[in-house]
Structure 1
Amino acid sequence: MHLTKFYSGLYAENVWLWVPDHDVEDPSSTQITVYPGRGLLDESQSGTFWLIGTAVEHHTLYEYQFAHTRNVFAGQIQTETAYYQPNPSAPVPFPFVASLNDPRFPSLTATDGNLTIPDADGWGLRIVHSNNILIYGAGLYSFSDNYSTTCSNQGNGEVCQYRNFEVISSNAITVYNLNTVGTHEMIEVDGQNVAYYGDNLDGFVDTIALFRTSS
């Protein structure tokens, strides 16, 4: 879903941008692998969007990306990283496209002590060169490593994905009630990790009540 540069004034409620991981017409729900490039891209220059109860799941490069936009309210958003990643890792099979503000993935893995964690899975949420973005409730979930869910089991170190939420050169960003699963570093701001899962344990999920950048 692409909100283009000169588009504004969208109200979207109860929208699920889902890429299937199983065949819904098969009584056995047979597992399938589909490779879509991008989830929701908002690059409206004027913005003014309301996204209420939306979800974006199983895309290759990212689920939500707000790029060069402003004035967005997103309430109760949800993402799931593609279950097949990191086999292959992003950006395979989609090459980097600068005009779409695609993310780059400089390394395939990251380490923390004796842990090796996938670092080229699709982002759940990216906010890039944007202003005045309010997110009221977010669940950014990374359950799998090549379809295995061991990496997200409680107590296993949240090693499905190294990072899942990125902010770059953006102001007045507010996120209430951020919940992640399977993600080792919960938030990255301008290339720096600022929220480690181990400091925010909340049962099966890891939770931050309020995250805010300067205005």
Structure 2
Amino acid sequence: MASTDIKKAESAKQGPPKISDYKEILDESTFEQILEMDDDEEDRDFSKSIVYGFFEQAVNTFQKMEDRLTDKNLAELSDLGHFLKGSSATLGLVKVKDGCEKIQHFGAKKDETGTMDEPDQEVCLKAIRNTLDEVKAAYSKVEKVLRLYYGEEVKVEEEEPKEAKPEAKEEKPKEDPKKETKEAKETAKEPTKEAPKEATKADAKE
């Protein structure tokens, strides 16, 4: 739903999108508190600086999370989740905040609610991997909405992966020649098995 609304906003170019249309990813009341800090409602330089500052912060934090995942450093992953949870909550980025809270819990060897212990490090790392992917997807959506809100042109490239799917299907026929070569090898082995049998019969006659 959000992606179609973004496309409509781009094509129509009738001003910023309505924040109330994106309740699933952006809390309207929280974001309005940020907007109230602007001296000029047309320019909104102050709130824009806060939001765009968060964009840079989020990208840097995501990269640090990726690095800590490769290092298998749960403690730092928990700290990074806690850090980004707070800044995203300040702007009202609901899904980003919720996902970062889960990462914080997983990094502390807890379940996603933070109420149950999870002693298995690998289980926690896998959970963080999956949650981080979800958080990045949620961030990408809300980032586009906010950039549109501040008058920036945003290109939506969500249809490209759909066009790439048929290419994967074309690779399936390539497996057939391999099967044929295997069958050829099996048939080639059969005469060698029959040859010793004939030799034994000849020996028996002698």
* TM-score, normalised with respect to structure 2: 0.23
Higher relative contact order (CA 8 A, sep 6+): 2
Q: Is the strand fraction higher in 1 or 2?
A: 1
Q: Is the helix fraction higher in 1 or 2?
A: 2
* TM-score, normalised with respect to structure 1: 0.22
Structure whose CA Rg is larger? 2
